[in-house]
């Protein structure tokens, strides 16, 4: 069999149905697909590769799936103070700063996000539905070679009486439908639009129903923020008489193609509804830690896992995009919080970032694991590094010892987008210079203070 590339000799964490780990393994790539995988001694003799890569130095995993990321918010990382309550952080800082980005600044942010993800082994992402300049950002992301589902900023709730509620909802619905027809994804496109909602209390029931209907119709999914703080359950109880998940169940918008982000302030009845409806939950441990959401104090993530809720992992805002750090966090947070070292074992944390993410993206047959016929989205982790030696238990060391800085090479759709620690699709130095200049401009024209606990001269 003629193939493009043979990677031979690697330790392969397949994440396939049997969760096989193959030592001295080999993978053959033809076009965008894996066409052979197994022991090197079985694969190498039956393929005729254009290029052979000596894989003995590497651990191979499927590309990771970041299920919640704001790709256009990377330019304000570090600028947001950490001692804000949720509402002040969002409404005084993040939203005004973000709305002041030009289209070109959003593109620079998106390139930086894609670079951060690819360089740390994330090959697919689900965006948070906060892109304003959709067309140029889509094009910028497309050039990077990353796989993703993205959404245009759509919130419709009229919070003041002089706003026309019906017109706002109608405009948001048309925006969602329009992006789906411009950027369809049902045929396995690498990059596509989904009807993604901001969530919290910003969307009317009518927009929720419309988004769910569009997702069903287009083979897409819905994602939204919910309950990182008590303000969401408080709002829903005051305005609907029900907690958020009870209300969303009442209006018929939950299901297997719906993924809700944060979900920290959730009660046991809501957990039962999530399990019953097959609704996915995206945990963003880094965001919870920095924002003081209470994930370990009041969160019910172990109970969700126990109830069979599909749990996913996201990095959320721009502070860091290395999903391997989130994998380590989820493997540790609840062990410590509950004094129970059996919670979220390393292999379960890895599933959240691979096969579970693929299921929520409706791409289980394409990504999330390494098997014949699947997309060639794969990562080589460099074991010639101190954190990888000695190599005795690859799953444990992937989660507890390694991080994204050890990612040596990455393929998406059979294309080598990271090679020897360098992104092949993005001019890294240019992005760093543009990001610094854009961030200096955005923050200085915002009028917000550049705060520091210590004097900076």
Binding site for Zn ion (CB under 5 A): 128, 316
Q: Given the complex with Zn ion, which of 12 and 321 has the nearer CB atom? A: 321
Q: Given the complex with Zn ion, which of 316 and 322 has the nearer CB atom? A: 316
Helix (H, G, I), strand (E, B) or coil at 24: strand
Sign of CA dihedral 359, 361, 367, 372: positive
- The rounded distance, in Å, linking the Cα atoms of 343 and 375 is 31
End-to-end CA distance of the chain: 64
- The rounded distance, in Å, linking the Cα atoms of 157 and 197 is 12
Report, in Å, the least distance between residue 111 CB and Zn ion: 20
Report residue 419 as tokens: 């090679």
Q: Given the complex with Zn ion, which of 316 and 434 has the nearer CB atom? A: 316
Report, in Å, the least distance between residue 425 CB and Zn ion: 25
- The rounded distance, in Å, linking the Cα atoms of 129 and 127 is 6
Q: Given the complex with Zn ion, which of 227 and 397 has the nearer CB atom? A: 227
Q: Given the complex with Zn ion, which of 128 and 260 has the nearer CB atom? A: 128
Report, in Å, the least distance between residue 235 CB and Zn ion: 17
Report residue 102 as tokens: 């030009």
Q: Given the complex with Zn ion, which of 69 and 398 has the nearer CB atom? A: 69
Q: Give the Cβ contact number of residue 340 at 10 Å.
A: 11
Count the residues in the chain. 457
Report, in Å, the least distance between residue 154 CB and Zn ion: 14
Helix (H, G, I), strand (E, B) or coil at 274: helix
Report residue 253 as tokens: 């918008």
- The rounded distance, in Å, linking the Cα atoms of 376 and 411 is 7
- The rounded distance, in Å, linking the Cα atoms of 16 and 368 is 8
Task: Tell which residue, 211, 224, 221, has the closest CA to residue 177.
Answer: 211
Report, in Å, the least distance between residue 97 CB and Zn ion: 15
Report, in Å, the least distance between residue 228 CB and Zn ion: 8
Sign of CA dihedral 98, 102, 106, 108: negative
Q: Given the complex with Zn ion, which of 283 and 374 has the nearer CB atom? A: 283
Report, in Å, the least distance between residue 225 CB and Zn ion: 5
Q: Given the complex with Zn ion, which of 316 and 403 has the nearer CB atom? A: 316
User: Are residues 307 and 267 in contact, defined by beta-carbon separation less than 8 angstroms?
Assistant: no
Q: Given the complex with Zn ion, which of 128 and 133 has the nearer CB atom? A: 128
Report, in Å, the least distance between residue 452 CB and Zn ion: 25
Q: Given the complex with Zn ion, which of 361 and 370 has the nearer CB atom? A: 361
Q: Which helix (H) or strand (E) holds 250?
A: helix 244-250
Dihedral (C-alpha) 391, 392, 394, 397: value to the nearest 10 degrees?
-70
Report, in Å, the least distance between residue 136 CB and Zn ion: 21
Report residue 221 as tokens: 């999914």
Report, in Å, the least distance between residue 320 CB and Zn ion: 14
User: Are residues 227 and 246 in contact, defined by beta-carbon separation less than 8 angstroms?
Assistant: no
- The rounded distance, in Å, linking the Cα atoms of 142 and 134 is 12
């Amino acid at each position: 069999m003629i193939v493009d590339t043979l990677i031979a000799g690697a330790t392969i964490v397949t994440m396939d149905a049997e969760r096989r780990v193959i030592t001295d393994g080999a993978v053959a790539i033809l076009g965008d697909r894996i066409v052979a995988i197994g022991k090197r001694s079985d694969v190498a003799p039956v393929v005729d590769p254009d290029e052979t890569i000596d894989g003995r130095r590497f651990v191979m995993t499927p590309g990771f799936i970041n299920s919640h990321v704001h790709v256009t918010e990377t330019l304000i990382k570090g600028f947001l103070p950490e001692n804000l309550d949720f509402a002040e952080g969002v409404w005084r800082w993040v939203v005004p700063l973000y709305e002041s980005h030009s289209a070109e600044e959003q593109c620079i942010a998106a390139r930086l996000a894609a670079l951060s993800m690819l360089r740390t082994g994330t090959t697919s992402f689900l965006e948070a539905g906060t892109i304003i300049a959709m067309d140029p950002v889509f094009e910028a992301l497309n050039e990077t070679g990353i796989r993703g589902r993205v959404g245009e900023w759509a919130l419709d709730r009229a919070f003041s009486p002089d706003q026309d509620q019906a017109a706002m909802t109608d405009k948001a619905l048309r925006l969602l439908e329009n992006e789906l027809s411009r950027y369809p994804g049902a045929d396995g496109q690498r990059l596509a639009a989904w009807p993604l909602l901001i969530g919290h209390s910003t969307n009317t029931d009518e927009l929720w129903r419309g988004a769910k209907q569009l997702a069903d119709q287009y083979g897409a999914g819905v994602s939204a923020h919910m309950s990182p703080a008590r303000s969401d359950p408080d709002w829903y109880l005051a305005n609907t008489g029900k907690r958020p998940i009870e209300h969303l169940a009442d209006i018929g918008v939950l299901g297997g193609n719906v993924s809700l982000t944060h979900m920290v302030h959730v009660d046991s009845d809501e957990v039962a509804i999530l399990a019953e409806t097959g609704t996915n939950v995206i945990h963003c441990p880094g965001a919870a830690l920095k924002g003081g959401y209470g994930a370990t104090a009041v969160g019910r993530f172990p109970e969700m896992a126990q109830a069979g809720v599909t749990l996913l992992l996201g990095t959320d805002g721009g502070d860091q995009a290395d999903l391997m750090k989130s994998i380590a966090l989820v493997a540790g947070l609840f062990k410590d919080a509950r004094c129970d070292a059996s919670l979220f074992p390393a292999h379960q944390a890895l599933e959240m970032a691979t096969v579970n993410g693929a299921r929520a993206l409706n791409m289980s047959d394409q990504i999330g694991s390494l098997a014949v016929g699947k997309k060639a989205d794969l990562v080589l982790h460099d074991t010639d590094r101190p954190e990888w030696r000695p190599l005795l238990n690859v799953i444990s060391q992937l989660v507890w010892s390694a991080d994204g800085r050890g990612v040596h090479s990455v393929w998406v759709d059979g294309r080598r987008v990271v090679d020897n620690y360098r992104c092949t699709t993005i001019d890294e130095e240019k992005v760093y210079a543009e990001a610094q200049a854009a961030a200096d401009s955005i923050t200085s024209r915002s009028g917000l203070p550049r705060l520091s606990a210590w004097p900076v001269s």
